[in-house]
Amino acid sequence: MKLSVHKNFFGIRTQIKLADQIILGTIPIIVIFLLWIYMTIGETYEVVLPDGVFENWEQVAPPEGTRFNDRDKLTIEDAKLITLENENGEIEKFLEKNGERFPLKSLYPTEFNNGVRISLKAGRLVRREKIKPDMVDLEQDKTASNTPSSSLEGGDSETTQKNEVATPLEGGNVQASQDSTTESKVPDKEQDSKTSPVDSSLPTPAKSETEVTLKIVYQYEAIHTRKWSSTTVPSPGEVIHAFGSVWSERQLSRSMLYSFLRVGGGLLVAFLIAFPLALMMGTFSKFKSMFSPLMLFGGYLPAPALVPLFMVFFGINEKQKIMFLAFAFTIYLLPLFVKALEEIDNVYLQTGYTLGASRYDILNKVLLPIALPNMFDAIRIGFGVGWSYIMLAEMLDLGGFGLGTLIITSQRRSLIPDIYLVLITIVVLAFITDKIWDLVDRKIFPYRRQER
């Protein structure tokens, strides 16, 4: 299939292939999405910290690559906080453990028991770094381990000297005392060599794990470096990440079903009211003169201001939501239905009267068949407009289900990504239903797609 997007781009009323329509339709969406990413992605920071206990990972250490949510906690024991001046002359907080200092950058630490608890930014654990003891420490450990043996030998020689000094005072043989001392000393050495736990030929044990500082490298995004504040516009990643909790914990699917049924029920009630009234106004001139002021008055009424009145008349249950949506649909559909009937050329009426048609035949076989396609378009567009009123209809049903309820509760809890996710859900749901309306239109009015 050859694409012809580049050919005759500014052609007036030219036919466009389906593939070209898809490409042209996705270009603005891709541009908006890329702009969204560019304006909501900040700089990436990496911090090196002592390893500790991560929230929800108390039993086992999280593997490398594990992602954490915003405000997850990392607890580091046997550590303390210090405040120092960094290279730029700014006051910065450091974490100190085992005599080593770790800059915390934009993380939020608090002292917790005998350690420090850090509130993490949304990010991931990149890797772990185990610091091995250097050779100097190993030599010190070796010397310290051999010290008891040396002191023991020193104790034996000192005892021998004492014996040598004591023997002449007692009048004994000095040589005999020396021999006896030497004979008594040799077995002691042999016993020491057999029972001493330290042997220079054996490998010296390294420091224990508690003495080795196990470091982690944590990577996160510095939200304050974004061009748009995260409290106003969240990033696409944050919106996608919020899908799991909104879908499972807040039951997004159930809210979609409730809102869809409410919009459909309101549209059905509005059609039962607007359609017969529009037939009377579009067919009989005196009926139009009678109801035109009310139709004009209803068109200028602000729908949001009517929510308290519908609550007074119908309460805050399902009846109130359906009736409010029905009223909003009615004031939107009625003028479009009447216009669809009035735009029919009088030539069709005169031809019908010439052929002997009655007023019922003119309405049933002339006006209605010609106006139905335009009426169907009005219903199709009106169904999409109904999604703009769903939040008003569900704004007080905080304990129930519905997309409007999700938006209101998310706004009160400052869950900005959830709001954007629900808005995208409404757009996607309205788009899918619009395509269903289009398929029904092709089945009912196939002649509208015929080439002229």
Does pLDDT of 171 surpass 60?
no
pTM: 0.67
The larger pLDDT score, comparing residue 338 to residue 193, is at 338
Per the listing, tokens 């030219």 go with: 14
- The residue among 406, 451, 400 whose CA lies nearest residue 429 is 406
State the pLDDT at residue 275: 92
Does pLDDT of 315 surpass 60?
yes
φ/ψ region of 8 (left if φ > 0, alpha if ψ in -120 to 50, else beta) reads: left
State the pLDDT at residue 232: 85
Does pLDDT of 176 surpass 60?
no
State the pLDDT at residue 24: 86
Distance (Å) of CA 317 to CA 29, 366, 403, 406, 411: 38, 42, 16, 17, 22
The band of 212, judged by pLDDT with boundaries at 50, 70 and 90, is low
Q: What is the C-alpha separation between 326 and 263, in angstroms, rounded?
A: 8
Phi, psi dihedrals of residue 107, rounded to the nearest 5°:
-80, 155
**Mean pLDDT score across all residues of the chain:** 78
Residue range 134-142: mean pLDDT, rounded: 43
Per the listing, tokens 């086992």 go with: 60
Report all structural domains of the chain as residue ranges with CATH numbers, in order of start.
45-132+212-225 (no CATH), 238-449 (1.10.3720.10)
Sheet holding 214-221, edge to edge: 44-50, 214-221, 123-130, 67-68
124 burial (CB, 10 Å; 0-12 / 13-18 / 19+) is middle
Per the listing, tokens 């339709």 go with: 25
The band of 378, judged by pLDDT with boundaries at 50, 70 and 90, is very high
- Write the pLDDT tens digit of every residue in 259-295: 899 999 999 999 999 999 998 888 888 888 888 888 8
